[in-house]
């Protein structure tokens, strides 16, 4: 029990550390007396070593007679303008290190050698100024790591401007050795993240939701208890079940079901010697703030206007004209939302965001109010529609004369960790792509429907922009984007545009009812995906939820079949995974993929009324909000432990995580230095690190928030009238007809039925037993 108290303190500490790179994570393997630098003699290339250039510096590296040769043509204007580096050097606090290397240069000059923090303040942990010359200089010394452990520091040589003008020259480096010679004072244990033993959704549950907790490291316990956090009384005791060897997280898991607790309140779970779970809430409105913040986040990402907020407010940004790539043409593309932790604005991910928001609103309009605290609040239009319109207005500016749509606008490179108004370099609009044009077409056609009653002129502008885009698509079969070589910001490049065109056609059909689009849909067949790169399922959503669509048409039935197939796959994985998540592999932005799976499951629930799909959809929500192997609520500012150091420039500049952002989450491909350093030996389902340098696990984006918004719109518990199979709000003979029909054609996805209301036997099957009960109910009520 003492251990428990201690671990708790650590959890609380972890939760309060802001932007502290080295504070909390794994590999505890001792590195004593091994050369930490893997390529030290350059016998076969320069692998592991790289060059950083800025402020006018120019340099290349190669090998020369078994040495590393750094050829410098321009020293630039600052000392790190030309920098030779070796990434990911673990330095443990109180460790004594010995560093040695040989260095020479074709000229006499001064360089700095150091091991420094890679990010943050770039503080040096050890530093030497060196006068180098053609005669090799042998450097060999010991130092102690005084600062907090930093397992991803950077060893580098600043070879830029040091005050003396220099022509082209070459620096040679060889026999680099870094060893941890004394680790007797290193406390390896001190740096592990706290991993809870019992995981639940940390935010909580609606009263009638299915509620299960995951238990790990169980030693002999067979039951668990739910405790009321205010009274400390045991309100429920249940048995552990479902022991599973979880290969993805490398742990053994048990489950405990506490769905019986429906009484609103705050609770936590205990189980023998395991650490108590974090507290969570049960209530009707448990997600309302979360839902509001998932949309409000977009306001805080607004570009091209003053943003008002006590902590993250800023003056207008990115409001200069932008240059169309490769021309002298300057255009106004101000507005829209910053995409992510960077300040680029990209059409392709914008379209996904817009679609998620509008379909979330369509699914459960009653959840969306007019008081989010955005400038348009109180104007009589739901804020989710006002906020979405802010992006749509920007998207309209991205359409070229031709009807084609520019892929994106950003500066040529990513800025430092600054507020948006401080990024003042030239804005560049990159060429038109057919993926952006089709996504734009779909978004505008969709917008036409939603804004028609609010502002007819705007709606018509959207529809004619969509029509212009469609004409461009007809004339330009396929023009896929690649980043021009001098632009390094988000590429959002795709291999095919079939799914984008399918989505566009489906939205155009919904907006106009025109047969041409239906013919186009039939020619491609249903496509899938709710990603930025695959968007076909938005086409399926458009068709399935379209008013008055012919349910026997091939467009409709193929869309339903595509959804069913995916929903069944996601439901199966969710059932087999102790955490209830519908994924077994985790890539960049996996939290979006998890939320997307929830959307597909929710849609299929809406089609069939089969509760098991809704349960699986919400299991994915519970994963995102804390019931996952890392025990993290991935939405900033919610739950007990949520990301403190997201890769998000405003949060990094302010020194505090902005609230209401869903981070990318687990990504086992280790695609940034922090992920490589912290997660090298981590099981795939746990590859996440709360470190601001980890953009491949801990960045945020507008299109990761938006599927969460959609998923949350599935949480509204609708009152069901007993026996109301046809969901018309009352019970009668008509429901008997619906149920008989359903049972007769039980494979027919078309027969829509409110499963929960019709399942009178409460056995999760709809069959003749329910029919018998329903007949009795009709008789007794008449």
Q: Which of 340, 600, 635, 658 binds ligand 9MR (CB under 6 A)?
A: 340
Give the residue nearest to ligand 9MR (CB).
Answer: 490
CB nearer ligand 9MR, residue 341 or residue 420 = 341
Residue 745 CA to its chain's centroid (Å): 40
Q: Does 317 sit near Zn ion (CB under 5 A)?
A: yes
Out of 49, 125, 588, 742, the only residue in the binding site for ligand 9MR (CB under 6 A) is: 588
Which is closer to Zn ion, CB of 303 or CB of 432?
303
Nearer to Zn ion, 353 or 667 (CB): 353
Among the listed residues 157, 695, 731, 755, the single contact to ligand 9MR using CB under 6 A: 695
Q: Residue 486 catalytic?
A: no
CA–CA distance, 558 with 552 (Å, rounded to integer): 10
Which one of residues 67, 318, 659, 756 is an interface residue with Zn ion (CB under 5 A)?
318
Three-state secondary structure string covering 104-166:
EECCCEEEEEEEECCCCCCCEEEEEEEEECCCCEEEEEEEECCCCCEEEEEEEEECCCCCCCC
Order across the sheet with 241-246: list the strands: 198-199, 212-216, 251-257, 241-246
Distance CA 68, CA 62 (A): 6
Q: Which partner in ligand 9MR, Zn ion, none is near 253 (CB below 5 to 8 A by kind)?
A: none
* Piece in contact with ligand 9MR (CB under 6 A), picked from 215-223, 263-271, 365-373, 693-701: 693-701
- Does residue 701 touch ligand 9MR according to CB under 6 A? yes
* Catalytic option among 174, 386, 693, 699: 699
Write down the least CB distance from residue 701 to ligand 9MR, Å: 5
Nearest to 406 by CA among 416, 415, 397: 397
Q: 316: buried, middle or exposed (CB in 10 Å: 19+, 13-18, 0-12)?
A: middle
Closest to ligand 9MR by CB, 287 or 588: 588
Within 8 A by CB and 6+ apart from 42, the residues are: 63, 66, 67, 68, 173, 174
CB of 488 to ligand 9MR, least distance (A): 7
In the complex, what is the shortest distance from the CB of residue 425 to Zn ion, in angstroms, rounded to a whole number?
Answer: 12
Q: Is 125 in the site for ligand 9MR (CB under 6 A)?
A: no
Q: Which stretch in 15-23, 172-180, 286-294, 337-345 sits in contact with ligand 9MR by CB under 6 A?
A: 337-345
Q: Kindly tell me which residue out of 251, 253, 339, 537 binds ligand 9MR, with binding defined by CB under 6 A.
A: 339
160 backbone dihedrals φ, ψ, rounded to 5°:
-85, -150
Residue nearest to Zn ion (CB): 303
- 357 close to 387: Cβ distance less than 8 angstroms: yes
- Using CB under 5 A, pick the residue from 344, 420, 626, 650 that binds Zn ion: 420
- In DSSP terms, 409 is beta-bridged to 345, 429
CB of 562 to ligand 9MR, least distance (A): 22
Q: In terms of CB distance, is 21 or 176 closer to ligand 9MR?
A: 21
Does residue 414 bind ligand 9MR (CB under 6 A)? yes
Q: Within positions 289 to 308, which residues make up the interface with Zn ion, using CB under 5 A? A: 303
Phi, psi values for residue 406, rounded to 5°: -60, 140
Residue 412 CB, nearest distance to Zn ion (Å)? Answer: 16
589 binds ligand 9MR (CB under 6 A): yes
The CB-of-698 to ligand 9MR minimum distance in angstroms stands at 10
Paired residues of 51 in beta bridges: 84
The token duo for 392 is 């749509």
Among 699, 724, 754, 759, binds ligand 9MR (CB under 6 A): 699
CA distances from 538 to 506, 595, 599, 698 (A): 8, 14, 10, 26
Of the listed pieces 147-155, 190-198, 341-349, 472-480, which binds ligand 9MR according to CB under 6 A? 341-349
CA distances (Å), origin 521, targets 359, 557, 559, 563? 20, 12, 10, 16
Cβ atoms of residues 561 and 574 within 8 Å? no
Binding-site partner at residue 699 among Zn ion, ligand 9MR, none, CB < 5 to 8 Å by type: ligand 9MR
Give the separation between CA 420 and CA 606, rounded to whole angstroms: 41
For the purposes of burial, counting CB atoms within 10 Å of the CB of 140, is it exposed (0-12), middle (13-18) or buried (19 or more)?
exposed
Nearer to Zn ion, 318 or 407 (CB): 318
Q: Determine which one of 647, 648, 754, 770 is catalytic.
A: 647
Q: At 187, give phi and psi (nearest 5°).
A: -100, 90
Residue 490 engages ligand 9MR in binding (rule: CB under 6 A): yes
Least distance in Å: CB of 618 to ligand 9MR?
Answer: 24
Name which of ligand 9MR, Zn ion, none residue 303 binds, using a CB cut-off of 5 to 8 Å depending on partner kind: Zn ion
Instruction: Indicate which residue of 292, 690, 693, 770 is catalytic.
Output: 690
CA 680 to CA 88: how far, in whole Å? 11
Tokens representing residue 222 in the block: 């067979």
CB of 703 vs ligand 9MR, minimal distance in Å = 8
What is the spatial distance between Cα 415 and Cα 317, in angstroms, rounded to a whole number? 13
Catalytic-role residue among 275, 342, 497, 724? 342
Active site residue 690: yes
| Residues 352 and 337: beta-carbon distance below 8 Å | no
Least distance in Å: CB of 301 to Zn ion?
9
Q: Which of 76, 160, 341, 539 binds ligand 9MR (CB under 6 A)?
A: 341
Q: How far apart are the first and last CA of the chain?
A: 61
Residue placing its CB nearer to ligand 9MR in the complex, 383 or 672: 672
Q: Which does 631 bind (CB under 5 to 8 A by kind): ligand 9MR, Zn ion, none?
A: none
Task: Tell me whether residue 342 is one of the annotated catalytic residues.
Answer: yes
* Residue 699 is among the residues annotated as catalytic for this protein: yes
DSSP letter for 275, please: P
Q: Which is nearer to ligand 9MR, 490 or 631 (CB)?
A: 490
Cβ atoms within 10 Å, residue 189:
7
Closer to Zn ion by Cβ: residue 420 or 529: 420
Structure tokens at 25: 């994570």
Give min distance, CB of 592 to ligand 9MR, in A: 8
The one of Zn ion, ligand 9MR, none whose footprint includes residue 318, by CB under 5 to 8 A per kind, is Zn ion
Helix (H), strand (E) at residue 565 = helix 554-576
- Does position 342 bind ligand 9MR by CB under 6 A? yes
Rounded Cα distance, 479 and 272, in Å: 61
| Beta carbon nearer to ligand 9MR, 111 or 487 | 487
Closest to 351 in 3D by CA, of 559, 455, 501, 160: 501
Q: How far apart are CA 661 and CA 133, in angstroms?
A: 52
Minimum CB–partner distance for residue 511 and ligand 9MR (Å): 28
Residue 316 and residue 333: Cα distance in Å, rounded?
14
**Least distance in Å: CB of 1 to ligand 9MR?**
42
- Residues near Zn ion (CB under 5 A) are 303, 317-318, 420
Residues that bind ligand 9MR (CB under 6 A): 339-342, 344, 414, 490, 588-589, 695, 699, 701
Q: Catalogue the active-site residues.
A: 342, 647, 690, 699
């Amino acid at each position: 029990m003492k251990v428990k108290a201690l671990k708790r303190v650590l959890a609380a500490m972890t939760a309060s550390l802001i932007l502290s790179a080295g504070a909390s994570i794994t590999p505890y393997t001792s590195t004593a007396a091994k050369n930490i630098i893997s390529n030290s003699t350059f016998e076969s290339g320069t692998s592991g070593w790289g060059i950083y250039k800025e402020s006018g510096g120019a340099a290349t590296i190669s090998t020369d007679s078994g040495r590393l040769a750094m050829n410098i043509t321009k020293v630039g204007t600052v000392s790190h303008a030309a920098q030779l580096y070796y990434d990911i050097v673990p330095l443990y606090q109180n460790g004594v290190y010995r560093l040695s290397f040989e260095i020479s240069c074709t000229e006499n000059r001064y360089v700095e050698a150091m091991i420094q923090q890679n990010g943050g303040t770039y503080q040096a942990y050890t530093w030497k100024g060196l006068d180098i010359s053609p005669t090799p200089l042998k450097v060999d010394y010991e130092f102690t790591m005084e600062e907090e452990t930093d397992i991803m520091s950077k060893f580098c040589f600043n070879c830029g401007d040091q005050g003396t003008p220099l022509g082209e020259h070459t620096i040679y480096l060889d026999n680099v050795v870094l060893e941890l010679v004394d680790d007797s004072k290193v406390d390896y244990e001190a740096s592990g993240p706290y991993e809870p033993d019992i995981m639940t959704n940390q935010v909580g549950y609606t009263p009638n939701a299915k509620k299960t907790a995951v238990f790990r490291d169980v030693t002999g316990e067979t039951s668990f208890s739910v405790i009321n956090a205010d009274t400390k009384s045991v309100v429920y005791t249940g048995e552990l079940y479902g022991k599973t060897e979880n290969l993805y997280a490398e742990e053994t898991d048990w489950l405990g079901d506490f769905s019986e607790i429906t009484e609103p309140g705050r609770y936590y779970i205990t189980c023998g010697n395991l650490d108590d779970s974090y507290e969570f809430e049960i209530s009707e409105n448990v997600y309302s703030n979360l839902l509001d913040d998932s949309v409000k986040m977009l306001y805080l990402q607004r570009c091209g206007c003053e943003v008002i907020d006590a902590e993250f407010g800023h003056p207008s940004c990115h409001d200069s004209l932008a240059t169309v790539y490769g021309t002298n043409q300057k255009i106004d593309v101000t507005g829209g939302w910053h995409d992510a932790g960077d300040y680029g604005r990209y059409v392709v991910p914008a379209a996904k965001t817009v679609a998620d928001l509008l379909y979330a609103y369509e699914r459960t309009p009653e959840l969306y109010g007019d008081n989010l605290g955005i400038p348009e609040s109180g104007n009589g239009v739901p804020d989710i529609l006002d906020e979405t319109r802010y992006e749509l207005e920007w998207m309209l500016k991205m359409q070229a004369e031709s009807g084609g749509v520019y892929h994106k606008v950003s500066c040529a490179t990513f800025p430092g960790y600054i507020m948006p108004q401080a990024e003042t370099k030239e804005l560049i609009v990159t060429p038109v792509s057919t993926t952006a044009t089709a996504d734009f077409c779909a978004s505008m056609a969709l917008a036409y429907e939603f804004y028609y009653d609010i502002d007819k002129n705007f709606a018509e502008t959207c529809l004619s922009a969509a029509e212009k885009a469609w004409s461009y698509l007809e004339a330009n079969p396929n023009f896929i984007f690649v980043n021009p070589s001098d632009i390094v910001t988000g590429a959002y490049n795709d291999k095919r545009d079939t799914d984008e065109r399918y989505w566009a056609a489906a939205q155009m059909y919904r907006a106009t009812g025109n047969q041409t689009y239906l013919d186009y849909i039939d020619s491609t067949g249903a496509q899938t995906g709710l990603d930025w790169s695959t968007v076909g399922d938005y086409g399926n959503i458009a068709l399935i939820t379209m008013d008055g669509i012919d349910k026997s048409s091939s467009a409709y039935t193929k869309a339903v079949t595509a959804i069913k197939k995916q929903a069944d796959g996601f439901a199966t994985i969710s059932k087999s995974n102790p955490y209830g998540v519908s994924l077994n592999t985790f890539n960049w932005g996996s939290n979006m993929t998890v939320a997307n799976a929830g959307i597909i499951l929710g849609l299929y629930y809406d089609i069939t009324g089969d509760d098991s799909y809704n349960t699986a959809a919400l299991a994915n929500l519970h994963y995102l909000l804390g019931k996952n192997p890392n025990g993290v609520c991935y939405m900033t500012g919610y739950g007990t432990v949520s990301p403190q150091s997201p890769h998000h420039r405003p949060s990094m500049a302010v020194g505090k995580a902005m609230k209401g952002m869903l981070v990318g989450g687990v990504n086992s491909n280790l695609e940034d230095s922090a992920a490589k350093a912290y997660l090298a030996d981590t099981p795939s389902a746990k590859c996440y690190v709360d470190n601001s340098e980890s953009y491949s696990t801990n960045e945020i984006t507008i299109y990761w928030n938006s599927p969460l918004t959609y998923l949350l719109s599935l949480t509204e518990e609708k009152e069901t009238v007993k026996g109301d199979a046809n969901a018309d709000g009352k019970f009668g003979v008509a429901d008997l007809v619906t149920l008989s029909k359903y049972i007769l054609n039980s494979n027919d996805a078309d027969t829509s039925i409110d499963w929960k209301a019709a399942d009178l036997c409460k056995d999760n099957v709809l069959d003749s037993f329910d029919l018998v009960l329903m007949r009795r109910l009709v008789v007794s009520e008449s």
